[in-house]
A and B are shown apart, each in its own frame.
Chain A
Amino acid sequence: MLHTVNKSPFDRNSLESCLRFAHQGHSILLFEDGVYGALKGTRFETLLTEALKSYNIYVLVPDIEARGMRTDGIIEGIKPTDYAGFVDLVAQTKAVQAWL
């Protein structure tokens, strides 16, 4: 299953709820304001680093760049992707769950 998270973890608990219910081996895509969770140096870095042990985590680069952030600021292990990559992720999994 692919989980999409589009909210900043500072604003809402979408990412935390997603991590509570995602199964081992699931994919998680951080996009829109969700990309703030993918960055090094925030108080969520430990949570994400831990999560990387169980899930494949992706971040949408156009949303990173739009917000003045750089891909070298992404936590190691989180994979950068683009809209085409987003499409592939959807195609590869059985269902998509949006954590709105």
Chain B
Amino acid sequence: MEEQGVIKKFLYVNRKAPYGSIYALESLEVVLIGAAFEQDISLAFIDDGVYQLKKNQQTSVSSGIGVKDFSKTYRALEGYDVEKLYVDNKSMEERGLTVDDLIVDVQLLDDAQMAQLMEQQDVVLSF
């Protein structure tokens, strides 16, 4: 059934903030499972999706919203060979964020670079 040696370019597009809805968390779950398939994976964070990567998320049961903080999982992606994390520069600027505000190392892309990245993909998963 499974064809050997097929490597496709998968792009995960994240445009939603964490916690307000489950999309960010469940998107990350797909990324982690998908990593085992040895495809060419990239993650794009655009619009409110950039908030997923914000440092210092505090969600503790005792004093916070009582939801699991999954932001640290982005740091673990490297261990799954998921290393291509791209962030839309304009979305960052609009929100007053810089790379220092983010929990992981990312590459900032301008509109043309992000458009180019999207153009190259075989499969685009949006959540």
Contact = CB atoms under 8 A, between A and B. Distances in A.
Q: Do A and B come from one complex?
A: yes
Interface of A: 1, 13-14, 17, 20-23, 94-100
A13 B90 CA distance: 13
B103 interface: no
A22 B122 contact: no
Which 5 residue pairs across A and B have the least CB separation, nearest first?
A: A97-B124, A98-B126, A21-B115, A100-B126, A21-B114
A98 B124 contact: yes
Given A95-B123, A97-B126, A100-B127, A22 B115 contact: yes
Contact of A1 (B13, B47, B118): B118
B57 interface: no
User: Chain B interface residue count: which class?
Assistant: 10 to 19
Contacts of A20: 90, 111, 115
Contact of A97 (B111, B118, B127): B118
A100 B114 CA distance: 17
Nearest to B91: A17
Nearest to A20: B111
Given A17-B15, A17-B46, A100-B15, A23 B115 contact: yes
